[in-house]
Amino acid sequence: MKKLLRLIDKFFPPQTVFAHCDIPCGIYDPHEAQMAAHTVLRMTNMISELQALSAELPFEERKRIISQIARLTKVKEEHAEFIKHQVRIIWGDYFKDEHIKKYKTLHQLVFRIMKQASAARQNVDIKAANELLGMVQQFAEIFWETKGRKVQKVKSGYPTEGVIVLPK
């Protein structure tokens, strides 16, 4: 039997499959996407606020600034991509036809989140990062409403001073 399976694997190699949960487990939550949106905003703010210690930049100072920008940009881009991943999972695996009928703008909202997350990755634009956060929060509101939960906006306590949409 092992030889037969190996032979099959040779001609039809197994492929790694990635999914949130194809059981389906029923465990979905837009909270991580909201945290990631706050992170994109925070990294964008930190990049925008970064300043040189002097007008004449010695080599060591230039290295410090370049290193800091690289690190902040990496985190910003990772979290923007993470938003896209999380929203795609919930949109593709959780939302059903009855949700789409009730929330007619859901497909457009998901499309806009994808585009806005890309824009937030490509630029250092505080307005774009804030818009992304707002869209992700709107997505979270719709998500919780489909579960029959009222939502509340709670001050996040993050340096972005924004809110998190949570179920009541």
What does the pLDDT read at residue 23? 59
Strand partners, 160: none
- Asked whether residue 116 is assigned to any structural domain, the reply reads yes
| DSSP 8-class letter at 162 | -
Cis amide leading into 24 (omega within 30): yes
Q: How many domains does the chain have?
A: 1
57 vs 40, which has greater pLDDT?
Answer: 40
51 vs 31, more confident: 31
Residue 22 inside a domain? The answer is no
DSSP string, 113-153: HHHHHHHHHHS--HHHHHHHHHHHHHHHHHHHHHTT--EEE
Which domain covers residue 70, as residue numbers? 29-51+59-167
Q: pLDDT averaged over the chain?
A: 90
d(CA 107, CA 57): 48
pTM of the entire structure? 0.83
Domain presence at residue 17: no
Residue 11 is assigned to a structural domain of this protein: no
Q: What percent of the chain has pLDDT over 70?
A: 92
Would residue 136 count as lying in a domain? yes
Instruction: Give the CATH number for residue 83.
Output: 1.20.120.400
Q: Is residue 4 part of a domain?
A: no
Q: What integer pLDDT is reported at residue 13 of this predicted model?
A: 82
Reported as a single tens digit per residue, the pLDDT across 85-126 is: 999 999 999 999 999 999 999 999 999 999 999 999 999 999
- 138-152 pLDDT, tens per residue? 999 999 999 999 999
Phi-psi region of 13 (alpha: psi -120 to 50; beta: other; left: phi over 0): beta
In a domain, 7, yes or no: no
158 lies in a domain? yes
**pLDDT value at position 39?**
98
pLDDT tens digits for 40-52? 999 999 999 987 7
Q: Which helix (H) or strand (E) holds 154?
A: strand 151-155
Task: For residue 157, give the amino acid letter.
Answer: G
For residues 130, 132, 134, 139, the Cα torsion angle rounded to the nearest 10 degrees is -170
pLDDT digits (tens, 9 = 90+) for 72-90: 999 999 999 999 999 999 9
